[in-house]
Amino acid sequence: MHFTDGKRVSSLAEWDQRREEIRNLLVKYFIGTFPEEVPEIIKAELLSEVKGDKDSIRRRIRVTLATPNRVSFDMEVWTPRREGPFPLLLTAPRFYQRYWAEDALERGYAVCLFPGVDSHHREENYLGFERVWQKFRAEYPESTWTEISAKGWLASRCIDYLLSEGSVTRVDPSKIAIIGFSRYGKQAMIAAAFDSRISCVVARSPGSPASCPYRFTSRNTYAEAPSDFPSQWFLPSLRKYTGRENQIPIDAHGWYALIAPRHCLIHTAHNDGAEPTFAVEKAYIEGRSVYRFLGAENKLRVDYREGGHSSGSPPESISRDDRQRNLDWIDLAFGRGKVRSKDFPEELIHDFDWKKWRAGQKDSELLIPDDASSQEKIRWSMGVEPDEIKNEKKAPYISDKESELMTHDRWAPAGILRAPIKFGHGVRGNLYYKEGSKEPLPVVVWLHPLSYHSGYNEGYGVQGTTVYHRLAQNGFAVIAYDQCGFGLRLLEGRDFYSNYPNWSRLGRMVMDSRDAISFVMDPRGNSRKPLPALNKERIFLLGYSTGSLVAMYAGAQDPRVTGIACFSGWTPLKDSSQDKVTGGNWRLWGLHGLQPMLGLFWGKEKNIPYDYDAVFELIMPKPLLLVTPKRNRFTDQGAIADLLGRLRLKNPEVFKDSLTWLAPDEVDHFQKDQQMSFIDWVRSLN
């Protein structure tokens, strides 16, 4: 709701201008330009007509357009055996999407299967549907459109035909919907964004950059980065923004601006490997601001389901209930059936309200004595640990089905074993180790980043194998578990401050990491499978991104830790000079709701009772590895250098012997090279 120059939209006329600005930005940075003029239909041929199931007629149509070389495309139209006009559902004929088509046909919809099959897919009865876009792109060499935008454009050309006098059926022009899953969900959103005749869109797990802004996915969430999209889905120039996603002048939330005020449903899963719930909600909230401005708040929703990124292969993977609910949304948009807006309530998982939290705190309990020790100040910032912790009612160990959902074994190299374990207050994890290990193994507690959807498992960006498998290959026993509010513990984060208003999620995360250390000291009876011998004298905490905060705080409190390694994840607390770029402490107390106490110092950061140098002092003289990439968009590298410089001056000998600081000229990521640098650092300590 702000122009690129910072001016806020305050009227419908200004919104029209801002909408056009957003449209141009999405074209420039994401999908490229379309042909300047839409070619007319010069011929339509009926290729086949058969009686189908569900008392339907199914026709194959070939449409020729007035392009320079008179290029044609095929489409399929299914209709009930009665007179129209019919509401229309468009979808690309990927096999798992045709189940939606069959269900819609039962509800009295006409269905158009348009030539939008992805170039990486093939459908036996729709040969050529995956490559026809290339013929049309060749017709307009001056246009820069991409594969996904070209196929969205072809969906619109199907609508042109179906609304024409020569159409084989009558379609209600006010009731046109489009639906798609994953890459086809992206395609559906883009088609709707650029064709106002589409009055309803359902996108199931469309991921980045559709329902998920790259700003909230990318490398530090183990989700999709701009460099990850395959082939020609988006403009190749978009890939260069990996690691500096905040510099893209628009992001995925822009699609909502173009779709509004029409009906739009994002159907996503709690543990969708392509779609972190956190990113989905932040885009939704921004899109909601447009819908509210236009008086259409109930026309945009995120609809959650359990499970992961299921495609419908086999068909029961997309349950009939899910499919029917998707179609219920379309019926709601078209005023059909008995469904009502209340059947699609707003549900948010990541809705931490700091002001509400503050109102529930007693001023007297927020005070800390000026003479408190560093350890006391740090513990104060974590809130008050409760007397009783409520455990989720789950099986004691992660099941094979849950591990399959979270793809824990997807990148497993030969000879690496996984043993489900439990520890602490209802925490469930896995221990990874190399088969045949004879000596007691050094232990690494792996503390993952802001991977809300996948927990400790790496998703996008894996290079060969995951961090926990790579560590096991190199002779470590690795404890890996989802931290509070992530992965299989996602909803624990949603409910955390309702259950523990005076504590903090970061405090719980630190407790869990220390409980993992306690497991190493005595694992008896807490594993579903036999374990190797563990070396209690060599226990390392390895954290990336937010996991680094957990590692450093736990390492500062727990004498049983041998060494701590922190890759990214922090920038000095008392420095607010770069808040606009880095997000500053707000990312901790407001955006992610990890450490609410820090919100008491918003705008007066110099008054925070401690900074990270105090944490590092408590860790020393234990070995401490800090890796802070120079091009990490979440940190102020100059402030980091100043803080570590002050720490060096206070105790130069201890600093020299204890701390290894690496500042590579890289963006923020944790892949093979970074994982190997941790392994090399541990080996150097021998």
Backbone torsions φ then ψ of 548, nearest 5 degrees: -65, -40
DSSP three-state, residue 79: strand
**With 60 as the cut, is the pLDDT of residue 313 above it?**
no
- Which residue range is the domain that position 109 belongs to? 12-343
450 and 328 co-located in one domain: no
Per-residue model confidence (pLDDT) at position 550: 98
309 and 382 co-located in one domain: no
58 and 178 co-located in one domain: yes
pLDDT tens per residue, range 48-63: 999 988 789 999 999 9
Please state, rounded to an integer, the average pLDDT across all residues of the chain: 95
449 and 561 co-located in one domain: yes
pLDDT tens per residue, range 587-631: 999 999 999 999 999 999 999 999 999 999 999 999 999 999 999
In a domain, 446, yes or no: yes
Locate 190 and state its tokens.
């883009």
CB 186 within 8 A of CB 206: yes
Alpha-carbon 269 to chain mean position: 11
pLDDT tens per residue, range 221-233: 999 999 999 889 9
CATH code of the domain covering residue 165: 3.40.50.1820
Locate 344 and state its tokens.
């699609």
Opening angle at CA 32, ends 162 and 95, nearest 5: 50
Burial grade of 549 (CB within 10 A; 0-12, 13-18, 19 or more): buried
Per-residue model confidence (pLDDT) at position 317: 54
In a domain, 517, yes or no: yes
Instruction: Tell me the mean pLDDT in the region 178-189.
Output: 97
Instruction: Find the range with the poorest average confidence among 28-37, 318-327, 559-568.
Output: 318-327
In a domain, 2, yes or no: no
CB 177 within 8 A of CB 91: no
pLDDT tens per residue, range 104-163: 999 999 999 999 999 999 999 999 999 999 999 999 999 999 999 999 999 999 999 999
CB 154 within 8 A of CB 73: yes
The secondary structure of residue 528, as a DSSP letter, is: S
CB 160 within 8 A of CB 38: yes
534 and 395 co-located in one domain: yes
| Residue 305 Ramachandran class (φ > 0 left, ψ -120 to 50 alpha, else beta) | beta
How many structural domains comprise the chain? 2
Per-residue model confidence (pLDDT) at position 318: 63
Per-residue model confidence (pLDDT) at position 74: 97
d(CA 567, CA 455): 17
Backbone torsions φ then ψ of 266, nearest 5 degrees: -105, 115
Opening angle at CA 587, ends 584 and 588, nearest 5: 105
pLDDT tens per residue, range 439-473: 999 999 999 999 999 999 999 999 999 999 999 99
264 and 384 co-located in one domain: no
Residue 162's contacts (CB-CB under 8 Å, 6 or more residues apart) are 77, 88, 110, 112, 169, 171
229 and 133 co-located in one domain: yes
Per-residue model confidence (pLDDT) at position 391: 79
d(CA 396, CA 633): 39
Q: Please report, in angstroms and rounded to a whole number, the separation of the first and last CA atoms in the chain.
A: 56
In a domain, 364, yes or no: no
Alpha-carbon 165 to chain mean position: 44
In a domain, 368, yes or no: no
**With 90 as the cut, is the pLDDT of residue 551 above it?**
yes
333 and 385 co-located in one domain: no
In a domain, 359, yes or no: no
Amino acid identity, position 275: E
DSSP three-state, residue 473: helix
SS3 string, 259-327, reads HCCCEEEEEEECCCCCCCHHHHHHHHHHHHHHHHHCCCHHHEEEEEECCCCCCCCCHHHCCHHHHHHHH
Q: From 343, 370, 403, give the residue that closes a domain.
A: 343
165 and 25 co-located in one domain: yes
Residue 666's contacts (CB-CB under 8 Å, 6 or more residues apart) are 243, 629, 630, 631
pLDDT tens per residue, range 70-116: 999 999 999 999 988 999 999 999 999 999 999 999 999 999 999 99
In a domain, 363, yes or no: no
Per-residue model confidence (pLDDT) at position 672: 97
In a domain, 355, yes or no: no
339 and 382 co-located in one domain: no
271 and 392 co-located in one domain: no
**pLDDT bucket at 370, cuts 50 / 70 / 90:** confident
394 and 285 co-located in one domain: no
- Could you tell me what percent of the chain has a pLDDT over 90? 92
| CB atoms near residue 368 (< 10 Å) | 14
Per-residue model confidence (pLDDT) at position 78: 97
Per-residue model confidence (pLDDT) at position 580: 81
**With 80 as the cut, is the pLDDT of residue 392 above it?**
no
Nearest to 221 by CA among 263, 280, 176, 181: 280
